[in-house]
Amino acid sequence: MSITTVGLDADDTLWHNETIFRLTQDRFVTLLAEHADHATLMARLAETEKRNLRLYGYGVKGFTLSMIETAMELTGGEAPAAVVREILAAGREMLAHPVETLPGVDQALAELSESYRLVLITKGDLLDQERKLAASGLGDLFAAIEIVSEKDRQTYDRVFARHGTGADEAVMAGNSMKSDVLPALAAGAWAVHIPYFITWAHEVAEAPASHKRYGALSNICELPGWIAARC
C-alpha cells in the first residue's frame, strides 16, 4: 500500500490561529470586566458561539458577531457603543493579522511536495483562508485547496477521490483529533495528529491510540519520515 496524497489542515497545523482567537478573547474579557467575572464571560461567549455555529459556521466574522451578541446579553441588552466599536475593530484586526507559519512547516512541506500530492483541507471562512494561504507563501506547494464547511468522513472520501488516488492511499495530518484524525481514519485514510499547544474546546476528542493507521507526532518536521516508513 503506497501513500500518494497528503492532506494537511491549515489553522494551528501550518500557522498560528488559535492564539489570535485567544488574544481577542482576552481583549473581550477585559472590555466587559465590570459586567461579569472572567469565567462567566468565557462561558457565555462559548455558549453564544455554539448556538450560532449552525448559522455562522467557522471563522472570524461569525466570532465577531457572537462577541457583540454576548456583550449585549451580559449588559442587559445595553452594551456601551465603545464596547461594540472595540469588538468590531478586534475582528478586523484578526482578519488583517499577519500569517506566521509554525516551526518546521516550510521545510517539511517542501520535502513532502517532492514525493506526494499535497492537498490543503481546511474549515473556516473562504476568503480569510485564501488570504492566509497566500500570505503564508506556501500556496505553490499544494496541488489543490479544499475549503470545506465540515470535516466528516464524506468530506475526506470526496476530497481524496477528487484530488488523489482515494482515501486508502492518502494520509491526513492536523492538530484536531476530532476534525482531522477521526473522520479521515473513518474514510479509510491514514491520519497523523500533530497537536498545537492549545486546542479549541469544540475540537477535543480522544486519540484512537490502537488504530493501525494512526500516528502521533510532536512536530510537523517528523511527518516526511513517518510517511516514508509506511511504504
- Give every CB contact of residue 9 below 8 A, 6+ residues apart in sequence: 121, 122, 172, 173, 174, 175, 176, 179, 180
Distance CA 33, CA 18 (A): 22
Instruction: Assess 62 for contact with a second copy (CB under 8 A).
Output: yes
Residue 78, φ and ψ in degrees, nearest 5:
-125, 45
Number of amino acids touching a second copy (CB under 8 A):
34
Q: Interface with a second copy includes 140 (CB under 8 A)?
A: no
End-to-end CA distance of the chain: 7
The DSSP secondary-structure symbol of 177 reads I
Binding range to a second copy, per CB under 8 A, among 29-37, 38-46, 50-58, 193-201: 50-58
Least Å distance between CB 117 and a second copy? 15
Instruction: Select from 30, 107, 149, 154 the one that contacts a second copy (CB under 8 A).
Output: 149
Choices 16-24, 55-63, 174-182, 217-225; region in contact with a second copy by CB under 8 A: 55-63
Distance CA 21, CA 145 (A): 23
At 130 the three-state DSSP class reads helix
- Residue 36 binds a second copy (CB under 8 A): no
Q: Which positions from 72 through 101 interact with a second copy, judged by CB under 8 A? A: 72, 75, 77-82, 84-85, 88, 91-92, 95-96
- Give the largest CA-CA distance in the chain: 61
Q: Considering the rule CB under 8 A, would residue 134 count as an interface residue with a second copy?
A: no
Residue (39 or 82) nearer to a second copy, CB: 82
Q: CB nearer to a second copy: give 38 or 92.
A: 92
Interatomic CA distance for residues 77 and 122, integer angstroms: 35
Give the footprint of a second copy on this chain (CB under 8 A).
52, 55-58, 61-62, 64-65, 68-69, 72, 75, 77-82, 84-85, 88, 91-92, 95-96, 125-128, 130, 147-149
